Amino acid sequence: MFILLVSVFSILLLGYAILIFKMNTSFKALKANNELLGFSKLSVLIPFKNEIEHLHSLILALEQQTLEKENYEVLLIDDNSSDKGSDFIKKRISELKLDNFKVLKSPSKGKKGALKFGIETSSFDIIVTTDADSIPDQNWLNSISRLYVNDKVKMHIGPVFQQNIEGFWSKVFAIDFLSLIGTTASFALMRNPILCNGANLSFRKESFFEVNGYEDNLHISSGDDMFLLHKLKSKYPRSIAYEPQAIVHTQGPDNWQEFYKQRIRWIGKSKFFKDLTTVIISVAIFFVYLAQLMSFLLGFWKPEYFAVFFCFFLIKFGLDLSFFSRVMNYFNLRLNKVLVFATATFQSIYTPVLIILSLLKLEKE
């Protein structure tokens, strides 16, 4: 029994090492996209619901974009807010004389319905989405606009960083989120994207309608970004670009409760994924973390499993550290090995537990 389990754990760890190696290698292809000349006009869509405390900062960030005003419009779509957010935005638009900004009222409920209405109302062919609580860098739209000079590009994925990080656990949550940023980038650079974030996403309107947009997942409360990614990836392989210079910042979870709800929501929609690579990688990662947790728990039955656990954990930590180093070096972030160690420990516990809890919740539903 001991030898069998150790063999299984070793195979899982070897597979994980190969995966990390491929992900690390992919960053060699991560180059700034400076050779493309020209601009494509953009329609920026922001669905919002009771986000009045965030809208002022977002409007200023969009108004200060380096892309010329005539090359983009901003459509803020009210998803049945009750906090008078629409009135606030209209007032700010008037005060700042933002002729390329509009406020729309969604005729349906839900983010996907609001986005669909915005896409149908938009003036330009390139659709850009972000969230009401996000803040884009000044060159965000400029970087995206250049991508679509290439007719082969159907979708763009960009990095989303957490901001206002204070306190130990907020930093751990941010590093955990950074692992998703790195995974998003590495697979996109391998021309086989498996993740994206709707806070920094763009796509061609024509391509959106060709794959029937959100039509077959409107009943799912979230996942507008991921489902669209998988549809476009299936219809247009190797047509999805990653632009590291198009950066958006967002607010991360402030506490354990917010973190738990966010991760359960993300994991919950994964049962609907049909993309083979996404499913395989997700299942493989789950079993790696499950094996690590099992080796620790088995140590209370037979102490020799504690040795297996520590070997497993240290080897995996070394692999994770190499990956975090690649990601942080590219984005010019400072690597704190203590926080990375704390995050690796945290991930080894929460990942399998949250996946199991999410699956149990889905069974009840």
Residue 287 parent element (H or E): helix 276-298
Per the CB < 8 A criterion, the answer to whether 131 and 46 are in contact is yes
Span 33-272: which CATH code? 3.90.550.10
| Inter-residue contact 224 to 115 (CB < 8 Å) | yes
Contact 107, 133 (CB under 8 A): no
pLDDT tens for 129-181 read 999 999 999 999 999 999 999 999 999 999 999 987 888 888 899 999 999 99
pTM, entire model: 0.91
Nearest to 242 by CA among 179, 195, 174, 178: 195
Local structure of residue 223 (DSSP, 8 states): -
What share of the chain in percent tops pLDDT 70?
95
For 176-203, the pLDDT digits (tens) are 999 999 999 999 999 999 999 999 999 9
Contact 259, 179 (CB under 8 A): no
**Which pLDDT tens digit goes with each residue over 236-270?**
999 999 999 999 999 888 888 888 888 888 887 78
E strand or H helix at 87, and its extent? Answer: helix 85-96
C-beta of residue 232 within 8 angstroms of C-beta of residue 225: no
d(CA 285, CA 16): 8
